[in-house]
Amino acid sequence: MRRVLVVMACVALVGCGGGGGSNDQGVSFRALGVFQESVEQFAPASDTFPSVDEAVGDTGRAIVLATTLFVPDDRNGDGDLDGGFIGVRNDLAFQDLNVQGVQVEIWIPGALFNPVVTDFVPMSINLTPPSTSENDPGGNVSYAQTIFLSPDVIAFLNQNPGLLPARPFDMNVVMRVEAISDSGDFFGSNEFTYSVGVF
């Protein structure tokens, strides 16, 4: 009987995420959302990227499905991608977090089924633990630009119009960032949504 209770306790612990790096909806590892450049410049001047001190939200964009190759894209034609910086924060004391990538789900109201397509986008960031010094903010917050609507996803949408509602329609890009701690525990961030108007 005692052995059965021990086994049941272990199964319950694994089932609840004990030892697996449970994140409780973004408490230890948080996705901050999608951001754009703080200052957009034209070459040869360089853009000012989002930072802890200044981060401007990138809430969405409109695309023409037939001509857009990926998102974020070059909206102003200056030769570099605009927006699409994903912000992440490590609030896990005493451990680094190594970001592995972004789980992406495409949800389209009125589509034949949802999510219409899923994808995983690799993204490599190291986040140090929060600093205990006010003078040293540390590296527990980072912003990295990544293409979260890949050419393969755009191609799939273009090749399967029967799954989609008539254009124009709204597309919700639901994302969740994944990371592994120094101790090997898995952490999934809170979910966040990027809105895309499709024409």
Q: Could you report the per-residue pLDDT of 145-191, keeping only the tens digit for each?
A: 999 999 999 999 999 999 999 999 999 999 999 999 999 999 999 99
* 139, pLDDT greater than 90: no
> In angstroms, how far apart are the furthest CA atoms of the chain?
74
Helix (H) or strand (E) holding 107: strand 97-107
pLDDT at 44: 56
What is the pLDDT at residue 24? 58
pLDDT of the residue at 53: 87
Q: Kindly state the average pLDDT of the residues 129-140.
A: 77
User: Do 73 and 82 contact (CB within 8 A), yes or no?
Assistant: yes
Q: Which of 2-6, 56-60, 100-104 has the weakest average pLDDT?
A: 2-6
Radius of gyration over every alpha carbon of the chain, rounded to an integer in angstroms = 20
Higher pLDDT, 135 or 163: 163
Interval 116-145 mean pLDDT: 88
Give the per-residue pLDDT at 107.
98
Task: Report whether pLDDT(4) > 60.
Answer: no
108-116 long-range Cβ contacts below 8 angstroms, 24+ apart? 108/164, 108/165, 108/169, 108/170, 108/171, 108/172, 109/165, 109/169, 109/170, 109/172, 110/164, 110/165, 110/169, 111/163, 111/164, 111/165, 112/162, 112/163, 112/164, 113/163, 115/174, 116/157, 116/163, 116/164
Whether residue 152 contacts residue 75, with contact meaning beta carbons closer than 8 Å, is answered with: no
> How do residues 36-91 score in pLDDT, each as one tens digit?
998 776 665 667 789 888 899 999 999 999 999 999 999 888 888 999 999 999 99
pLDDT: which is higher, 22 or 109: 109
In 3D space, the residue among 102, 95, 107 whose CA is nearest the CA of residue 34 turns out to be: 102
- Which of 150, 18, 138 lies closest to 71, judged by CA? 150
